A and B are shown apart, each in its own frame.
Chain A
Amino acid sequence: MNLQNFRIEPNAAPPGDWYIFGDITDDDGNLLGTFGPDGTSVFAWWVQQPSDWQLNYVMQFSSIMAQQIAAQDGG
């Protein structure tokens, strides 16, 4: 799988959201799908995923968040 014309843009409202644009192709260049002409909102897509799938990624976020919190608290 490949991504062509790929780019990510911030969404001003709500802040913190991102829009992903691009074409999804196979190795022969055949178009498998796209993120849509207006892109796909990370926030909108995220809430559509199963909770157990979300939990897997939140677990990964937790250690990253902890590192950031500790770094800020530790100066």
Chain B
Amino acid sequence: MATYYVRTDGSDSNTGTGPGTGQAWLTVGKAVSATGMSSGDTVYVAPGVYSALINVLMTSATVNTYIIGDPKALQFPGVTPGQVICTNYNTALNAAGFSNHVITGTSKNFMYWSNINFKFNPPYGINVATVRNWTFEKCTFSNRNTSGSLIVMTSPASTAMSLTINQCIFHGGNVGLQLTGGGVPDTTSIQNSVFRHCAQAIVQVSCQTAVFNCLFFVSLFAINQSSQSLVFPATITNCLTANCSNDLIGGVTGTLIETYNRLLGASARSNVAQGTGSVTVGDIGVDIGESLLQGLPTIAQLTSFLSSPNANFGTLTGAPVTDLYGNAWTGPNPDAGAGTYKTIGGGLLTHPGMTGGIRG
């Protein structure tokens, strides 16, 4: 398994096999091209803004193939830490860059992305077709309005998508995560993630998903589902939804099973039966800036404040053991939502989940 490097002052004419300017590649697109990585390889991406199409053209992987943002520049001596940004804006992020999705690909499997911030000039996003076994971990996806979707993904026909979304933040766009599955049992997992200001957070068609400990602050639907199976229903557990017109929409009652959720939107469930341990009334229970505003011990926005009704609300069964930021739940059971109460030392940018290494 080879290791490669990308940095903003590299060159796609380089070999990519070292972190220096004379060795590293210039673009992420090169790393996933037909002349880039092979299945199982890893590429580290240095801090900076990458404004170029990432068209996955490499021979489809058969095991996880890693594209890892390195915001702390641990792999790049001398490089200043900072965000790793992939975008279709220009590199200054103040005007349009190129008119296409940021990631495209067809029939390319086992792509594992982490620690990358995707900033989309609408209506573009990530748009991949007939793929499976992709992972996004500790990534963010943002769009400044409600035109276009952040991630659009389809699985191969009659095949599980097996997508993993872990510790990610989705912001804006029409749909945060638009999945069309194969209409078969699926291990797709979406957990410890935040969906905010998306017109619709998750739209899933024929795709069995297991959603755990997510926070949904959206304008229309948290989960909008159709063509799901009664035999292998989708599930949503330990989640917090608010500011939605409709929280959960199932195509037919029994195809979306909800338990231990705090569903605080105007209409909690449409064609979804009330599940064990769920409630539909109460405060949102997360910090909206008050701790910093009023000089209290600072916590990350959208995490549970002290004595929050979200604390210890969920069920342990099947739940992630830590929250969005890698913190253990403060109570014996998980919170509802994505973030538990945890004071921040040394400033808002502290990211406890990052201290154990790049892959966390």
Name the residue on B nearest A5 (C-beta): B271
In the complex, B274 has a CB within 8 A of chain A? yes
**Cβ B274 vs Cβ A27 within 8 A:** yes
The total of Cβ contacts below 8 Å across the A-B interface reads 34
Per the 8 Å Cβ criterion, residues 113-159 of B in contact with A are: 123, 145-147
In the complex, B272 has a CB within 8 A of chain A? yes
In the complex, B268 has a CB within 8 A of chain A? yes
**Cβ A1 vs Cβ B271 within 8 A:** no
Q: Given A6-B270, A6-B271, A67-B147: A1 and B280 within 8 A (CB)?
A: yes
In the complex, A11 has a CB within 8 A of chain B? no
Interface residue tally of chain B, by bracket? 10 to 19
How many Å lie between the Cα of A64 and that of B174 in the bound state?
11
Q: Given A27-B280, A67-B147: A2 and B266 within 8 A (CB)?
A: no
How many Å lie between the Cα of A1 and that of B246 in the bound state?
10
**Cβ B253 vs Cβ A2 within 8 A:** no
Which B residues have a C-beta under 8 Å from some C-beta of A?
123, 145-147, 246, 249, 253, 266-272, 274, 279-280
Pairs across A and B, CB under 8 Å, 5 listed:
A2-B267, A3-B246, A4-B270, A22-B270, A27-B280
Which A residues have a C-beta under 8 Å from some C-beta of B?
1-6, 22, 27, 29, 64, 67, 71
Apart from the given pairs A67-B145, A71-B123, 8 other A-B contacts in the complex at a CB distance below 8 Å: A1-B267, A2-B268, A2-B274, A3-B267, A3-B269, A4-B271, A6-B270, A64-B146
